[in-house]
């Protein structure tokens, strides 16, 4: 560890009252007989340079002390007031740490000192994510030298108000201790990025002589070939600054456990044992503290999680796992009494997910009411960056006795993207999200003082039958609801859709008493529901929108569908023919066109006259299954204009069969494919084909999206989520 200041290497870290000698400041303590030992001690502890430097500093201190004793070697001016120079603690890179972990994209100085910069791995777009961390006692000047060309940059979050000064490839700014700062070249969220963690000086340092403290001092420790480091009741793991521990930590069936220190826990390997393949796992534990630690993963699995725990505090937790996907930041399942404070998370899945995974692991057949609740969770004063799924999430697994008293407050969402491979298709994803798979009670949830800088969609509350293309099943056979959810002081500067979507499951599983207070989009307050922002189905009730200036607000029940230039088939799926302009039909030679029936068998599907013909929604996408009949999803133009049609059509069930044929028609003419021949989607083509075309329409023109079987109807479920936009 280096512990030095910015210019003169001897003791410029002086208190407000100090003497000035030959232009060099010294602490008042130096001007006393004990000052010699004070200066030598501080210097020898902190700077760790050469013996010659130590001698020079000692000589200067001796001269200063002599003058203070009344000698005439020089003149001591009157004491003067001045600000502290910050003392910067640099955690040096361990010599044994492989060079592959060093970043070649950025160099950083803080207070004139070189800060080690590491790379955590590549993001979903193949670009490295870099990071650095150090301590400072006060405001410190930081200089970033980018080794990659850039024309523009941003310093995030915007709420810090940092702008910086640029000179060539260098950007300089001043940062306060206790802040996390992201340097974003060219404002490219998919590109190379640097995260800096400016830490306050540590307090409450464990006694490393205690037999209850497991201590790792500065150095590189590779435990990747071993089981997790298991902490027992009463134990503390302390990673000192400059320590890099490549391994895992497990706290199971234990109480009064602490994981702390500014060191790095590194986990970038596949575990070859039966233990959880995550960096930090807390299971059935009580009174656990995780603080000041940096956790780095480069695997497509969770960074950390806690399950069936109580009384857990996570403070100043910094975590990066940008690998696509499933790289959640720190998940909470079936826990009570949890506080997150001062977190920074860059993930490529949920940055944080509050879940319920049952008493023995997730099993949708089990009654959620028999599982432990998820309750009394507070998440505050944090920054979140999610390259996939949600930044803040409750769910998707909701197998808990109930969810109650959950609060997110004072959070900067730096980035939220939906998915690398399925952009704009997984419409249940959002920056602030509640997605329930299992029927249970979710209530008394508050999101307050949240600032969204970049996101596809803003807010989502949905009840889903399945997740991730059917791979994770839900169950709605038990009672359940979502109610009393408050969004207060939410601001979005995002250039995304900023959609707010509420979609209940059925009349027995409603979403109700949802309060929006002081919601601003691009600095414009939301004042009513007559906007493209809101989409509420018929199972959303008592939706209230208020402002400080108009506390009476407006209240509405779903469905809420405002006039729009955009029509999205999955989002606007209705249980009524013609709802939102969409019609659900079949066609068969010799029979003609027939309207389908909604939910005749309790499946929440549109059904045709045959056994298998159906249209339904799952996971924010629309699914089609033909039979001897063609499936027709028709849209009737409300007015004249030019429309663009888009959407990927792909096989959903790929286990067998012989594929399907698809096409788009305007009235009685095929307009896609443009060659007039139906497009074949092979049985295992889960990537699909982009169905894109523009055309002019007049009022009541019909655009028809058609799916037909080939030789047989086995495994013909096909995903297609068309979008129509008036240009």
The CATH number assigned to the domain holding 348 equals: 2.160.20.10
Burial class (CB in 10 A: 0-12, 13-18, 19+), 392: buried
Does 299 score more than 50 pLDDT? yes
- Domain check: are 93 and 81 in the same one? no
Whether residue 275 is contained in a domain is answered as no
In 54-123, DSSP assigns E strands to: 80-81, 88-90, 106-110, 113-115, 118-122
- Domain check: are 655 and 638 in the same one? yes
Whether residue 265 is contained in a domain is answered as no
CA distance 627 to 342: 55
- Domain check: are 647 and 721 in the same one? yes
Pairwise pLDDT comparison (65 vs 36), residue with the higher score: 65
Does 174 score more than 60 pLDDT? yes
CA distance 517 to 525: 10
Whether residue 514 is contained in a domain is answered as yes
- Domain check: are 420 and 462 in the same one? yes
pLDDT at residue 57, rounded to an integer? 39
Burial class (CB in 10 A: 0-12, 13-18, 19+), 139: middle
Whether residue 498 is contained in a domain is answered as yes
Query: Mean pLDDT for the chain?
Result: 89
- Domain check: are 146 and 105 in the same one? yes
Q: Residue 665 belongs to a domain with what CATH number?
A: 2.60.120
Does 682 score more than 70 pLDDT? yes
Domain boundary at 164, 180, 199, which? 199
Does 360 score more than 60 pLDDT? yes
Does 35 score more than 90 pLDDT? no
Please state, in angstroms and as integers, the Cα–Cα distance from residue 691 to each residue in 341, 460, 635, 667, 702, following that order. 46, 27, 16, 17, 17
pLDDT at residue 255, rounded to an integer? 99
- Domain check: are 349 and 486 in the same one? yes
Does 473 score more than 60 pLDDT? yes
| Averaged pLDDT for residues 657-676 | 96
| Averaged pLDDT for residues 128-154 | 98
- Domain check: are 28 and 104 in the same one? no
pLDDT tier for residue 71 given thresholds of 50, 70 and 90: very low
pLDDT at residue 11, rounded to an integer? 30
pLDDT tier for residue 23 given thresholds of 50, 70 and 90: very low
pLDDT at residue 48, rounded to an integer? 33
Does 499 score more than 80 pLDDT? yes
CA distance 281 to 228: 9
Q: Please choose, from the candidates 310, 311, 404, 307, the residue with its C-alpha nearest in 3D space to the C-alpha of residue 361.
A: 307
- Domain check: are 552 and 651 in the same one? no
Does 727 score more than 90 pLDDT? no
pLDDT at residue 566, rounded to an integer? 80
| Averaged pLDDT for residues 668-687 | 96
Burial class (CB in 10 A: 0-12, 13-18, 19+), 207: exposed
Does 40 score more than 50 pLDDT? no
Whether residue 195 is contained in a domain is answered as yes
Task: Quick: pLDDT tens for 248-284.
Answer: 999 999 999 999 999 999 999 999 899 999 999 999 9
Domain boundary at 85, 104, 132, which? 85
pLDDT tier for residue 399 given thresholds of 50, 70 and 90: very high
Pairwise pLDDT comparison (198 vs 621), residue with the higher score: 198
- Domain check: are 529 and 622 in the same one? no
In 621-692, DSSP assigns E strands to: 621-625, 630-636, 641-646, 648-651, 660-666, 669-672, 679-681, 689-690
Does 17 score more than 60 pLDDT? no
Model pTM score: 0.74
Q: Residue 125 belongs to a domain with what CATH number?
A: 2.60.350.10
Determine the Cα angle at 596 with ends 676 and 570, to 5°: 70
105 torsion bin: left (phi>0), alpha (psi -120 to 50), beta (else)? alpha
pLDDT at residue 562, rounded to an integer? 59
Whether residue 237 is contained in a domain is answered as no
| Averaged pLDDT for residues 101-120 | 98
pLDDT at residue 563, rounded to an integer? 56
pLDDT at residue 44, rounded to an integer? 31
- Domain check: are 17 and 118 in the same one? no
Does 31 score more than 80 pLDDT? no
Element (H, E) at 183: strand 179-185
pLDDT at residue 620, rounded to an integer? 81
Domain boundary at 495, 530, 563, which? 563
Does 632 score more than 80 pLDDT? yes
Determine the Cα angle at 251 with ends 236 and 363, to 5°: 160
- Domain check: are 702 and 663 in the same one? yes
For the chain, give the percent of residues with pLDDT over 90.
80
pLDDT tier for residue 78 given thresholds of 50, 70 and 90: very low
pLDDT at residue 81, rounded to an integer? 40
Instruction: Domain of residue 414: give its range.
Output: 300-563
- Domain check: are 8 and 100 in the same one? no
The total number of structural domains that make up the chain: 4
In 5-99, DSSP assigns E strands to: 17-18, 20-21, 24-25, 80-81, 88-90
Whether residue 48 is contained in a domain is answered as yes
Task: Quick: pLDDT tens for 533-590.
Answer: 998 988 999 999 998 777 889 999 998 865 567 898 998 999 999 998 999 999 999 9
Tokens of 20: 């000035």
For the chain, give the percent of residues with pLDDT over 70.
88
Whether residue 144 is contained in a domain is answered as yes
């Amino acid at each position: 560890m280096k512990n030095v200041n910015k210019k003169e290497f001897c003791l410029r870290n002086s208190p407000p009252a100090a003497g000035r000698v030959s232009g060099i400041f010294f602490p008042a303590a130096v001007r006393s007989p004990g000052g010699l030992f004070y200066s030598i001690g501080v210097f020898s502890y902190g700077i760790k340079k050469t013996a010659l430097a130590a001698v020079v500093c000692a000589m200067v201190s001796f001269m200063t002390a002599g003058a203070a004793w009344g000698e005439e070697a020089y003149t001591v001016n009157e004491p003067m007031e001045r600000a502290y120079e910050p003392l910067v603690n640099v955690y040096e890179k361990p010599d044994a740490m492989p060079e592959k972990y060093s970043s070649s994209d950025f160099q950083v100085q803080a207070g004139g000192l070189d800060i080690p910069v590491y790379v955590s791995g590549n993001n979903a777009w193949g670009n490295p994510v870099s990071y650095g961390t150090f301590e400072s006692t006060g405001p410190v000047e930081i200089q970033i030298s980018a080794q990659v060309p850039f024309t523009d940059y941003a310093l995030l979050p915007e709420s810090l108000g940092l702008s910086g000064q640029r000179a060539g490839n260098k950007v300089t700014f001043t940062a306060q201790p206790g802040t996390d700062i992201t340097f974003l070249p060219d404002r490219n969220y998919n590109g190379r990025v640097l995260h800096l963690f400016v830490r306050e000086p540590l307090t409450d340092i464990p006694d490393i002589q205690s037999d209850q403290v497991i201590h790792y001092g500065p150095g590189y420790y590779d435990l990747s070939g071993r089981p997790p480091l298991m902490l027992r009741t009463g134990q503390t793991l302390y990673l000192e600054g400059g320590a890099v521990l490549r391994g895992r930590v497990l706290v199971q069936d234990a109480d009064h456990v602490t994981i702390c220190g500014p060191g790095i826990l590194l986990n970038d390997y596949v575990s070859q044992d039966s233990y959880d393949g995550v960096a930090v796992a807390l299971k059935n534990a009580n009174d656990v503290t995780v603080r000041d630690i940096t956790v780095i993963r480069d695997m497509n699995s969770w960074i950390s999680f806690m399950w069936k725990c109580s009384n857990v505090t996570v403070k100043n937790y910094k975590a990066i796992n940008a690998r696509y996907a499933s790289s959640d930041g720190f998940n909470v399942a079936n826990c009570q009494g949890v506080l997150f404070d001062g977190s920074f998370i860059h993930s490529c899945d949920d940055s944080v997910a509050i879940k319920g995974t049952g008493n023995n692991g997730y099993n949708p057949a089990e009654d959620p009411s028999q599982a432990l609740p998820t309750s009394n969770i507070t998440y505050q004063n944090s920054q979140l960056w999610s390259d996939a799924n949600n930044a803040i999430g409750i769910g998707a697994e909701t197998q808990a006795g109930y969810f109650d008293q959950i609060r997110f407050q004072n959070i900067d969402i730096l980035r939220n993207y939906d998915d690398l491979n399925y952009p704009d298709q997984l419409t249940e994803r959002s920056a602030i999200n509640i997605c329930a798979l299992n029927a249970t009670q979710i209530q008394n949830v508050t999101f307050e003082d949240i600032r969204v800088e970049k996101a596809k969609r803003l807010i989502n509350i949905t009840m889903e039958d399945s997740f991730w293309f059917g791979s994770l099943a839900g169950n709605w056979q038990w009672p359940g609801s979502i109610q009393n959810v408050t969004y207060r002081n939410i601001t979005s500067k995002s250039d995304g859709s900023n959609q707010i979507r509420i979609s209940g499951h059925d009349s027995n599983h409603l979403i109700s008493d949802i309060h929006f207070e002081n919601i601003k989009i691009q600095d414009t307050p939301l004042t009513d529901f007559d906007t493209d922002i809101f989409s509420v189905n018929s199972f959303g009730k008592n939706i209230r929108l208020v402002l400080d200036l108009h506390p009476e607000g407006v209240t509405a029940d779903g469905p809420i569908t405002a006039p729009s230039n955009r029509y999205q088939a999955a989002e606007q799926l209705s249980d009524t023919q013609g709802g939102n302009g969409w019609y659900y039909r079949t066609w068969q030679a010799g029979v003609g066109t027939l309207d389908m029936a909604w939910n005749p068998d309790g499946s929440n599907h549109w059904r045709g006259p045959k056994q298998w013909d159906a249209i339904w929604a799952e996971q924010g996408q629309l699914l089609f299954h033909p039979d001897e009949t063609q499936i027709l999803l028709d849209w009737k133009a409300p007015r004249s204009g030019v429309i663009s049609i888009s959407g990927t059509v792909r096989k959903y069930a790929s286990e067998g069969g012989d594929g399907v044929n698809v096409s788009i028609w305007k009235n009685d003419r095929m307009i896609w494919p443009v060659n007039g021949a139906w497009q074949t989607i092979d049985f295992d083509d889960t990537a699909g084909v982009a169905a894109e075309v523009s055309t002019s329409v007049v009022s009541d023109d019909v655009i028809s999206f058609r799916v037909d079987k080939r030789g047989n109807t086995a495994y013909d479920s096909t995903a297609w989520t068309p979008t129509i936009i008036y240009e």
